[in-house]
């Protein structure tokens, strides 16, 4: 694992700079103490990173849970009560892992997963544009369309136009230009520019800019436009930032409902992020999903015990890790260590980082997730891939992550049903023989009730005086609904002078009296009848 440290250490620094404002912003959006987001980020990096089987996944507090957390804190009577639900949610995730529920992640179509990545990329861009120009830092971490401040993603962009902060906008534009130049030009010139990552350079630039223009009426970047890490005055104050669960409320039914909700949503988001991260991993590593649930459950138990927010694997951090060259879990672990060390030793220095600089870093991440070339590629694959993809993208942008994925999944299921409808059989029409059209209907390997409409339509359209061969040589499963259709067709066949030949592994039967009786007497090894 330490063989990749040359790649993992620079990547961990970039992930750290992305994770820091996300941890603080998600805590703010959740109505929780700011320090709770940092706790979740530290545990997500060090503990979950060490236990996970993922080489490139990075965990921490998730924006997708912010609305649930915000509501639950109020409904459960305080943050200490809510922490009990976080701990129990972690226990439930452990149970999910032992029950091998991680397999659920494999049942999401590739088009939906790609739509999720693209949708998140667009959301990151739209949400970070106000921060980039020095306006409304709170909405940047609220990834739902309708925001906690009453606005929405697009209304914030219009409001931003009349609230641009010159200093933040200037250093943001400068940082974005440098990041692009670093990535496209300098990184190809020398290995030193690959070892020293562009995001680290622009963060240093941002701190210098802040110090140089302090007190300037126009260009100064102050207050809410900077990172805001809690600064303890002493060791006692530092440890006083930790909160602990109030287990006296463990018998409250609402605590258990919230715990199950956290476990379900956190597990689903994690499994989706695992699938998405594995897809964009250049080394094509495959993450063991059940082990991931066990790691996430352990992380949430520890996070809840010391006052942290719920944890999931997060695609923003994971994709940043991949784009920055992370090769092993050391990158995730190092980023957690950096979070821990920095909030203890250099909180004042962290609070000099302009949010517009970090927004520039996230804009690059968002663009790489939602490249225009991906839209072109998905469209070129045909409507069966394009429809679930674009519905997922639009759903995520206009609602939220899980609802958008749900919409895409529904469209994906409809596409599967259509494909199943179309692929139940194929016809081969031969020339007239003995005065009759000879038509061969070959059924698919598995034929279910989804195929009823297609097969019924073909049988009803057969002309009079036809010789029909129904070929079942490749069919291993035939639903009773299809057998019932064939039985009903026997009556119409006699009326329309249609002769039927049934070809199966048992042999050939001319004009069977009953398909149901034929299959009841078949050898069990030949055909399954539901």
Predicted confidence (pLDDT) at residue 35 exceeds the cutoff of 90:
yes
Share of the chain above pLDDT 70, in %: 93
Tokens of 466: 């036809």
Nearest residue to 54 via CA among 302, 312, 301: 312
Which runs of E-coded beta strand occur in 4-83? 59-61
Which of 110-114, 248-252, 521-525 shows the lowest mean pLDDT across its residues? 521-525
Task: State how far the Cα of 456 lies from the Cα of 312, in Å rounded to an integer.
Answer: 48
Domains and CATH numbers, the chain: 2-406 (no CATH), 423-529 (3.30.750.24)
Is the pLDDT reported for residue 190 higher than 90? no
Pairwise CA distance, residues 393 & 401, whole Å = 9
Rounded average pLDDT over 270-274: 93
Provide the H-helix boundaries in 99-222. Answer: 110-132, 153-160, 166-181, 187-189, 192-195, 198-212
d(CA 269, CA 313): 7
- At residue 475 the predicted structure's pLDDT band, cuts being 50, 70 and 90, is confident
Please state the rounded mean pLDDT for residues 96-117.
Answer: 90
Q: What is the pLDDT of residues 409-423, one digit of tens each?
A: 999 888 877 776 666
3-state SS string for 379-448: HHCCHHHHHHHHHHHHHHHHCCHHHHHHHHHHHHHHHHHHHHHHCCEEEEEEEEECCEEEEEEEECCEEC
Q: In the predicted model, what is the mean pLDDT of residues 230-250?
A: 88
> Would you state the pLDDT for residue 273?
93
Mean residue pLDDT across the chain:
88
Give me the pLDDT at residue 133, please.
94
Residue carrying the six token digits 């009903």 = 488
Position 262 scores a pLDDT of 96
How many whole angstroms separate alpha carbon 284 and alpha carbon 264? 27
Strand, helix or coil for residue 528: strand
Q: Is residue 432 over pLDDT 60?
A: no
| CB of 400 closer than 8 Å to CB of 144 | yes
When comparing pLDDT for 390 and 446, which is higher?
Answer: 390
In sequence order, which residues have a C-beta less than 8 Å from that of residue 192 and are 6 or more positions away? none
Q: What is the pLDDT of residue 530?
A: 43
Q: Report the candidate in 451, 448, 404, 406 with the shortest Cα–Cα distance to residue 426.
A: 451
Q: Is 445 helix (H, G, I), strand (E, B) or coil?
A: coil
Considering the entire predicted model, what is its pTM? 0.81
Average pLDDT over residues 235-244: 85
Strands 466-471, 59-61: pairing is: unpaired
Instruction: Count CA atoms closer than 13 A to 243's CA, side-chain side.
Output: 26
DSSP 277-296: HHHH-TT-----HHHHHHHH
**370 pLDDT exceeds 70?**
yes
In degrees, rounded to 5, the angle at the alpha carbon of residue 62 between the alpha carbons of residues 254 and 405 is 90
Residue with tokens 């236990």: 51
**CA dist 325 to 6, 124, 156, 176, 515, Å?**
9, 21, 33, 19, 61
pLDDT tens column, 116-152:
999 999 998 998 999 899 986 566 666 778 876 677 8
Q: How confident is the model at residue 525 (pLDDT cuts 50, 70, 90)?
A: very low
Distance CA 90, CA 262 (A): 8
Per-residue confidence (pLDDT) for residue 528, from 0 to 100:
47
pLDDT digits (tens, 9 = 90+) for 306-365: 999 999 999 999 999 999 999 999 999 999 999 999 999 999 999 999 999 999 999 999
Q: What is the pLDDT of residue 521?
A: 60
């Amino acid at each position: 694992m330490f063989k990749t440290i040359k790649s993992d250490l620079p990547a961990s620094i970039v992930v750290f700079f992305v994770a820091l404002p996300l941890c603080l912003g998600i805590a703010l959006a959740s109505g929780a103490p700011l320090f709770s987001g940092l706790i979740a980020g530290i545990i997500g990096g060090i503990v979950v990173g060490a236990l996970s089987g993922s080489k490139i996944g990075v965990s921490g507090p998730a924006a997708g849970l912010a609305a649930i957390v915000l509501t639950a804190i109020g409904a459960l009577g305080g943050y200490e009560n809510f922490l009990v639900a976080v701990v129990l949610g972690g226990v439930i995730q452990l149970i999910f892992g032992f029950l091998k529920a991680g397999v659920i992640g494999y049942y999401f179509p590739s088009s939906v997963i790609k739509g999720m990545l693209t949708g998140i990329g667009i959301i990151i861009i739209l949400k970070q544009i106000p921060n980039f120009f020095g306006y409304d830092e709170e909405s940047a971490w609220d990834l739902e369309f309708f925001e906690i401040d009453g606005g929405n993603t697009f209304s914030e962009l219009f409001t931003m136009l009349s609230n641009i902060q010159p200093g933040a906008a200037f250093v943001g534009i400068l940082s974005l230009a440098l990041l692009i130049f670093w990535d496209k030009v300098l990184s190809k010139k020398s290995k030193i520019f690959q070892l020293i990552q562009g995001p680290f350079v622009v963060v240093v630039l941002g701190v210098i800019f802040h110090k140089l223009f302090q007190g300037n009426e126009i260009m100064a970047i102050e207050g809410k436009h900077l990172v805001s890490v809690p600064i303890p005055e002493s060791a006692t104050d530092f440890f006083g930032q930790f909160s602990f669960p109030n287990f006296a409320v463990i018998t409250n039914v609402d605590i258990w409902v919230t715990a199950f909700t956290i476990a379900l949503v956190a597990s689903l988001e994690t499994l989706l992020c695992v699938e998405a991260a594995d897809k964009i991993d250049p080394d094509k590593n495959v993450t063991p999903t059940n082990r991931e649930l066990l790691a996430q459950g352990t992380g949430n138990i520890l996070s809840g015990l010391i006052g942290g927010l719920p944890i999931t694997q997060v695609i923003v951090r994971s994709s940043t890790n991949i784009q920055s060259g992370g090769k092993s879990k050391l990158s995730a672990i190092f980023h957690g260590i950096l979070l821990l060390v920095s909030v203890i030793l250099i909180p004042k220095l962290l609070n000099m980082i302009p949010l517009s600089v970090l927004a520039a870093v996230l804009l690059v991440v968002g663009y790489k997730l939602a490249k225009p070339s991906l839209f072109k590629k998905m469209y070129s694959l045909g409507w069966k891939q394009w429809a679930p993809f674009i519905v997922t993208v639009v759903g995520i942008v206009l609602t939220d992550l899980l609802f958008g994925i749900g919409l895409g999944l529904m469209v994906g299921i409809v596409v599967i049903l259509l494909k199943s409808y179309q692929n139940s059989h194929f016809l081969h029409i031969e020339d007239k023989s003995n005065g009759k059209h000879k038509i061969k209907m070959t059924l698919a390997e598995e034929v279910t009730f989804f195929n009823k409409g297609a097969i019924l339509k073909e049988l009803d359209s057969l002309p009079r005086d036809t010789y029909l061969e129904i070929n079942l040589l490749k069919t291993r499963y035939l639903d009773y609904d299809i057998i019932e259709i064939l039985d009903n067709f026997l009556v119409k066949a006699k009326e329309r002078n249609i002769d039927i030949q049934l070809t199966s592994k048992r042999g050939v039967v001319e004009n069977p009296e009953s398909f149901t009786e034929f299959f009841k007497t078949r050898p069990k090894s030949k055909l399954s009848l539901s």
